[in-house]
A and B are shown apart, each in its own frame.
Chain A
Amino acid sequence: MKDTTEQEVIEIGDLDVEAFNEYATEQGWSDGMPLFVPTEEKVAKFVERVRGDNRPFSPVPPRQVVPTLQSLAANAVMAGCKPEYFPAVTAAMRGVLDPAFNLHGTLATTHSCAPMVMISGPARKELGVNCGSNCFGQGWRANATIGRALGLMLINVAGAKPGEMDRSTQGNPAKFTFCFGENEEENPWTPYHVQRGFAPTDSVVTVMSGEGPHNLNDHGSTSGVGLLTTFAGGMATPGANTIYGKGPLFIVIGPEHAATLKRDGFSIESIRAELFTRSRVHASRISEENQQTYITTGHKPDGDWFTIAPTPEDIHITVAGGPGKHSAFIPSFGGTTVACVRIAS
């Protein structure tokens, strides 16, 4: 390993915030929104929060450099994080570095995918992560800046400059930030991180390279079967990578929908099984050219039907949001995985 020609600490002269933002934009460090200044003093406060977590980072593709805690923290400072958010940010970075996440592919693709970040466990409350009303939206510093910090790291450390290494045809607003918390308090089943083998007392970051959330509106159905009819219909889309790339996907169920499904006897497993079968797309809704592409790349139909995930277990289910009759479908990039990392304490 050898040092790059870059310097870890840079003397930039006596710049005010506005001048720093001009400088940072010229360097290509910005996501287009204003940045905080990553002074040595601020960065040190962030790094102090992860001093006990000495696991090295692997080289970050596509640029293939090994980041330092200081350079990662600089991005978290620029994003507007509080120091206490930094362990969650580094956990998210470790998650996208899982080889099965396929970071190179998810960053260099023409697809619109961006990293979805979900936080589970006690850290949700400790950091003030919104798990309830408008959990995918604006208004919460932890949600906004933890997701943004990861996005800046992918630009600056991974090298995914828009239009250069990031070749996304249209992009996605989630590339600015996409972070939310599980609503464990209104989840009638097992919290997601516990489904994945973690203890309820663990704080865990889950990442998946996906599209933004697609709303599943159902005010009319009063039964679990009725809700799953709507969910499956919303998921059965020929334009999502879930059918093209056959990868994982998330269903984020709103608390009111979850209560109805639980009342009618549905479990996580039975919801998965039902959605896997009923969200298949009939061949008549897929062009003949695309059918040939799917078949020649190994995605063979089940009779006249194309499934949207390899197995029912690739349908990941959690509960988030507040009052209202809405849930969400988050298709993934396809060639990726859902990675979970415990937040170091």
Chain B
Amino acid sequence: MRIVNPTFGLSAAAGEAVALKPVNWKTDAIALFSNSKPNARELLDGIRTKLGAFRSVDNIDFVAKNSASQGASKDLIEKVAANYRGALLAIAD
């Protein structure tokens, strides 16, 4: 018996490959990116404090998307990409 696969689909075109440069976590600017869920800021604040034990935190900034239920805007992602060498995401509830 032949059936039609209910999961079948064509994969969307892949995005352009980007050459990644290594991040120096001891000196580079880092974004602490919140998913805007309650307590995300507290989690990221704890990470910033721990990073402060071995590096300057002057260029470690908090960033948050507008809504916990919606994706980050393209503008925000581009701003983070332009201004930071690394980003740490809080994605848990």
Residues on A close to B: CB < 8 A?
A: 1-4, 6-15, 20, 27, 29, 37-40, 43, 59-60, 63-68, 70-71, 73-75, 77-78, 102, 104-105, 109-111, 152-153, 156-157, 241, 245, 247, 289-290, 293, 297-298, 333-336
| Cα distance, A70 to B4, chains bound together (Å) | 7
Shortest Cβ distance from residue B66 to the other chain A in the assembled complex, whole angstroms: 7
Cβ-closest 7 pairs across A and B: A65-B9, A335-B69, A59-B12, A74-B6, A71-B8, A74-B4, A335-B70
Bound-complex Cα distance A169 to B5 (A): 29
CB distance from B53 to the nearest CB of A (A): 27
Q: How far is the CA of A7 from the CA of B28 in the complex (A)?
A: 46
**Given that A1-B12, A4-B9, A67-B8 are contacting pairs, would A335 and B3 also be in contact in the complex, using a CB cutoff of 8 Å?**
no
A272 CA to B89 CA, complexed, in Å: 39
A-B contact pairs, 13 of them (CB 8 A): A1-B10, A8-B8, A9-B2, A12-B1, A13-B1, A37-B3, A74-B8, A77-B4, A156-B7, A297-B68, A333-B69, A334-B69, A335-B69
Q: Provided the pairs A105-B69, A105-B71, A109-B69 are in contact, do residues A3 and B2 lie with their beta carbons within 8 angstroms?
A: no
Given A105-B69, A105-B70, A6 and B1 contact (CB-CB distance below 8 Å): no
| Contact A39–B93 (Cβ < 8 Å) | no
Chain A residues contacting B9 (CB-CB under 8 Å) are 4, 6, 60, 63, 65-68, 71, 157
Apart from A2-B10, A64-B11, A71-B6, 5 more pairs, CB < 8 Å: A10-B4, A39-B4, A68-B8, A73-B4, A74-B3
- B68 CB → nearest A CB, Å: 7
Chain B residues near A37 (CB-CB < 8 A): 1, 3
Please give me the residue from chain A that is nearest to B13 by CB atom: A1
Give the complex CA separation of A156 and B4 in angstroms.
12
C-alpha spacing A221/B8, complex, angstroms: 53
Which of B5, B66, B70 has the most C-beta atoms of chain A within 10 angstroms of its own C-beta?
B5
Are B12's CB and A40's CB within 8 A? no
Residues B6 and A156 in contact, CB atoms below 8 Å apart: yes
Choose among A1, A38, A71, A297 the residue that contacts B11 (Cβ–Cβ < 8 A). A1
Q: Contacts A10-B3, A40-B4, A74-B4 hold; do A245 and B12 have CB atoms under 8 A apart?
A: no
Q: Mark B1-38, 1 if CB is under 8 A from A, else 0.
A: 11111111111110000000000000000000000101
Complex Cα gap A292–B11 (Å): 42
B5 touches A74 (CB 8 A): yes
Which residues of B are interface residues toward A (Cβ below 8 A)?
1-13, 36, 38, 66-71, 93
In the complex, which residue of chain B has the Cβ closest to the Cβ of A241?
B69
Contact A102 B70 (CB under 8 A): yes
- Inter-chain CA distance A224–B65, complex, in Å, is 42
- Do residues B10 and A157 form an inter-chain contact, with CB atoms below 8 A? no
Indicate which residue in B1, B5, B6 contacts A152 across the interface (CB closer than 8 Å).
Answer: B6
Across-interface contacts of A111 in B (CB, < 8 A):
69
CB neighbours (8 Å) of B7 from chain A are: 6, 27, 29, 71, 156-157
Contacts of A152 in B (CB 8 A): 6
Q: Shortest CB–CB separation between residue B45 and chain A, in angstroms?
A: 13
Residues of A within 8 A of B70 (CB): 102, 105, 335
Closest chain A residue to B69, Cβ basis: A335
**How far apart are A151's CB and chain B's nearest CB, in angstroms?**
12
* Bound form: Cα–Cα A188–B9 in Å: 44
Q: Is the CB of B6 within 8 A of A4?
A: no
Q: Residues of A contacting B2 with CB < 8 Å?
A: 9-12, 39-40
Across the interface, which residues of B come within 8 angstroms of A157, CB to CB?
A: 6-7, 9
Residue of B nearest to A59 (CB): B12
Tell whether, in the assembled complex, residue B3 and residue A12 are in contact, meaning their CB atoms are under 8 Å apart: yes
On chain B, the residues within 8 Å of A29 by CB distance are: 6-7
